[in-house]
Amino acid sequence: MKNAELVKIIQKFAESGWNAIADPSKKWLASNESASTNELKTAIEQADKDCGSCGCEFDPLYKKALALLSA
């Protein structure tokens, strides 16, 4: 079963309109495969590098999602 807090964060990513994070998020939400989790982690790590300190609402969510995915 997926963590409810994590699902809520990933849903925000899926609805963001930024394909680099939205597409892997949608795939993860629709799947239980570990491959989609790895793809999602990679996308979130890249998003955090590209945008993780710009001050938008997603900045803290990247770090939180990565922590929850690694738990």
Q: Following DSSP, what letter does each residue of the chain receive, concatenated?
A: ---HHHHHHHHHHHTSS-HHHHHHHHHHHT---HHHHHHHHHHHHHHHHHHTTS-STTHHHHHHHHHHHH-
Residue 1 has pLDDT above 60, yes or no: no
For residue 64, is pLDDT > 90?
yes
- Is the model's pLDDT at 71 over the cut of 90? no
- Note the pLDDT tens digit of each residue in 6-38: 999 999 999 999 999 999 999 999 987 777 999
- For the chain, the structural domain boundaries read 4-70
Tell me how far apart the alpha carbons of residues 60 and 49 are, in angstroms, rounded to a whole number. 12
Record the pTM: 0.89
The model's pLDDT over 39-56, given as tens digits with 9 standing for 90+, comes to 999 999 999 999 888 888
